[in-house]
Chain A
Amino acid sequence: MASDRDTRQWRLATHPLETSNLEITFSGRWCLDQRLPSPDDLAPVLKTGTSRLTFKTDLSSWDSAFLAYLSVLLKLCAAKGIEADRDGLPEGVRHLLAMAAAVPEQKITGRGGGRHNFLHRIGVAAVEFSHGAPAMLRFLGEIVFSFGRLLSGRVRLRWHDLWWEVEEVGPRALLIVSVISFLVGLILAYLGADQLRMVGAQIFIADLVAIGMVREIGALMTGIIIAGRTGSAFAAKLGTMQVNEEIDAFRTLGISPIDFLVLPRTIALMLMVPLLTLYSGFVGMLAGLLISTTIFDIGLFEYYNETISALELKHFAVGLVKGSVYGAMVAYSGCLRGMQCGRSAEAVGEAATSAVVTSILLITISASILTIIFYQLGI
């Protein structure tokens, strides 16, 4: 009988039986929760002209750790051309080793694994980028066609979805738009006050805040908030639908996922972002008013009159157009990245990130283009 201590420890012994025949005796306990020896330790023993390996066992218990140890050993033997006789191993061990070998290892070819060098990766990124632009244009084209189908009455707008998105994009974003617009209005007022005081024209804070908020900053801030809040949500939602093959299900039924998913979202954003822009301008002006009257000693009516005289209808028009364009950009980026999403949880995260980056990039580009156009038109 083995003592208690003996059954709790692993033990390993090697005896050369005859010339070229080595016997390995495993005894005691060989389990996962122990510190087991490395199978590589046996490599030098096997080197010395052995051509046959036999096993003897007196195990108190064993589990996968033992199996793993043995399979390394057997591989080592196979590599050295040593014949391993498994008869001395417990029956269960032989069964499980046979099961593991039952399905042959698949030789996988044509899979671009492994790490490549820096130049290779730059090349791959460049090629992917060049594929990205046509894909973006194609998606834009699909949306335009979808609008065409809507206007020609071949596609019915899903009012239910549209209202749902409108509520999600509009009223639920009011709080964050209020906070940010108020603070931006406040910053504008301070910034203007400092500069205008030098020329003694502090009253023009009103003009600066009113025109700045209504024409440019209201739309820009709202666009960026909506990009972070809604663009990412669109990408995540459509990306998850892509993972669940829901988009494929639309396609096989002959329903255009663009008509069904992208159209209502785009319309919702093009409607709601201009409204939020107006609201943002209003909140910004309120902040300007508050700062000017309390800190810079400008009278309430003075400020009000200056604002009214500074604002023209064209400023509102510019703000509304910009808001609508930014909304379209966010909807486009969010839906594009969602539809391009891969089929894993990670891909959904990447799609959401990419949607925000693309939205902000497109918003900035279109802001510059619109500013130049409006300047040329004298609006």
Chain B
Amino acid sequence: MATAVPIEVRNLTMAYGEYVVQHDISFTVNRGEIFIIMGGNGCGKSTLMRSLIGLQRPAKGTVLYDGQDFWHVEAAEHERLKRRLGVMFQGGAMWSSLTLAENVALPLGEYTNLSPHLINEIVSFKLALVGLAGFEDFYPAELSGGMRKRAGLARAMALDPEILIIDEPSSGLDPLTARHLDHLILELRQNFGTTIIIITHELASILGIGDNSIFLDVQTRTMIATGNPKQALRSGDPRVRHFLTRGEA
């Protein structure tokens, strides 16, 4: 049935019309791995995420989930694969007409048979996990950017997805909250075996929790390194070391 590799990206090229954002990206993410996608501003990290979650068809190449070609399966299967993903968008992307509790409860109401009481409790629990206990009845507009982002993570975790894809979890968060989220990510992996892909340029998170990574380069418009970030810091490509030491090496 399932192969050992839940996510495999093969020769992915992403483009907006003629403009190639990144070309020939290939990597695999193993089950239960915390995989970091890093790179400078504007290198195409978020575009890569859009291809991984089904929002933007790649120009070339493909993405495989458990050996199934995400971009070439039938529509129903494509939808089923998507349901295995939990996605947190950069700004949280909370639906503005719903309260935080309603935001997190929506996927639970759609896809489970749980009682409303238990759904409410799951919602409160998820919000508490991201440090937003007591904010159930707030609308996203009433919260700060960092809080909205964390609420976005709570919504992404609502269905306990097998694969969690997180865009810039810690940017804009205070250091303690950022560390709390890093711990939470480790706990999720530990307890649920969740495969987690994090798009970030936050050094503390990259080096603190990343098992594996790729580095997207802005100049050459392709990936220039892959592997454990700590190893990359010691002996990797000079450009990656330069990045990971904030230009000091």
Q: Which residues of A are at the interface with B, using a C-beta cutoff of 8 A?
A: 31-36, 38-40, 63-65, 67-69, 71-72, 92-93, 95-96, 99-108, 111, 113, 342-347
Cβ–Cβ contact A34 & B113, under 8 A: yes
CA separation between A35 and B126, bound complex, in Å? 20
Whether a CB of chain A sits under 8 angstroms from the CB of B79 is no
CA separation between A108 and B132, bound complex, in Å? 12
State which of B40-48, B179-187, B202-210, B229-237 sits at the interface with chain A. B179-187
Residues of B within 8 A of A63 (CB): 160, 192
State which of B29-37, B49-57, B137-145 sits at the interface with chain A. B137-145
Interface size of B by CB at 8 A reads 38
- Interface core residue of B128, B157, B183 (most chain A CB under 10 Å): B128
Whether a CB of chain A sits under 8 angstroms from the CB of B247 is no
CA separation between A111 and B190, bound complex, in Å? 38
Besides A71-B125, A102-B180, 8 other A-B contacts (C-beta < 8 A): A64-B122, A69-B121, A72-B121, A99-B184, A107-B134, A108-B134, A108-B138, A344-B140
Q: In the assembled complex, how far is the CB of residue B53 from the closest CB belonging to chain A, in whole angstroms?
A: 20
Q: Assuming A32-B108, A34-B113, is B141 touching A64 (CB within 8 A)?
A: no
Whether a CB of chain A sits under 8 angstroms from the CB of B129 is yes
CA separation between A39 and B122, bound complex, in Å? 12
Cβ–Cβ contact A96 & B115, under 8 A: no
Q: In the assembled complex, how far is the CB of residue B48 from the closest CB belonging to chain A, in whole angstroms?
A: 25
**Can you list the 8 inter-chain pairs with the closest CB atoms, starting with the nearest?**
A92-B191, A344-B141, A103-B131, A100-B128, A105-B133, A68-B121, A105-B134, A68-B122
Residues of B within 8 A of A39 (CB): 117-118, 121
Q: In the assembled complex, how far is the CB of residue A313 from the closest CB belonging to chain B, in whole angstroms?
A: 53
Cβ–Cβ contact A32 & B129, under 8 A: no
Cβ–Cβ contact A346 & B133, under 8 A: no
Cβ–Cβ contact A32 & B114, under 8 A: yes
- Contacting A at CB under 8 A, from B169-209, are 180, 183-184, 187, 190-192
Whether a CB of chain A sits under 8 angstroms from the CB of B245 is no
The chain B residue with its CB closest to the CB of A38 is B115
Q: Which residues of B are at the interface with A, using a C-beta cutoff of 8 A?
A: 96-97, 108, 112-115, 117-118, 121-122, 124-126, 128-129, 131-135, 137-142, 157-160, 180, 183-184, 187, 190-192
Cβ–Cβ contact B117 & A36, under 8 A: no
Q: Assuming A68-B118, A68-B122, A346-B97, is B133 touching A32 (CB within 8 A)?
A: no
Residues of B within 8 A of A107 (CB): 134
Partner of B191, one of A31, A32, A96, A343: A96
Cβ–Cβ contact B121 & A71, under 8 A: yes
- How many A-B Cβ pairs are below 8 Å? 101
Residues of A within 8 A of B159 (CB): 32
CA separation between A93 and B192, bound complex, in Å? 11
Residues of B within 8 A of A64 (CB): 122, 125-126, 157-158, 160
Cβ–Cβ contact B180 & A92, under 8 A: no
Cβ–Cβ contact A342 & B160, under 8 A: no
Q: In the assembled complex, how far is the CB of residue B36 from the closest CB belonging to chain A, in whole angstroms?
A: 22
Cβ–Cβ contact B187 & A99, under 8 A: yes
Q: In the assembled complex, how far is the CB of residue B128 from the closest CB belonging to chain A, in whole angstroms?
A: 4
Residues of B within 8 A of A34 (CB): 113
Cβ–Cβ contact B117 & A38, under 8 A: yes
Q: Assuming A32-B159, A63-B160, A96-B191, is B117 touching A102 (CB within 8 A)?
A: no
Residues of B within 8 A of A69 (CB): 118, 121
Cβ–Cβ contact A38 & B134, under 8 A: no
Residues of A within 8 A of B133 (CB): 100, 103-106
Q: In the assembled complex, how far is the CB of residue B113 from the closest CB belonging to chain A, in whole angstroms?
A: 5
- Interface core residue of A71, A99, A113 (most chain B CB under 10 Å): A99
Q: Assuming A92-B191, A343-B141, is B118 touching A101 (CB within 8 A)?
A: no
Cβ–Cβ contact B141 & A68, under 8 A: no
The chain A residue with its CB closest to the CB of B176 is A103
Residues of B within 8 A of A111 (CB): 142
Q: In the assembled complex, how far is the CB of residue B99 from the closest CB belonging to chain A, in whole angstroms?
A: 10
Cβ–Cβ contact A105 & B122, under 8 A: no
Residues of A within 8 A of B134 (CB): 105-108
Q: In the assembled complex, how far is the CB of residue B70 from the closest CB belonging to chain A, in whole angstroms?
A: 22
Q: Assuming A92-B187, A100-B128, is B114 touching A65 (CB within 8 A)?
A: yes
Residues of A within 8 A of B191 (CB): 92-93, 95-96
Cβ–Cβ contact A345 & B190, under 8 A: no
CA separation between A345 and B73, bound complex, in Å? 34
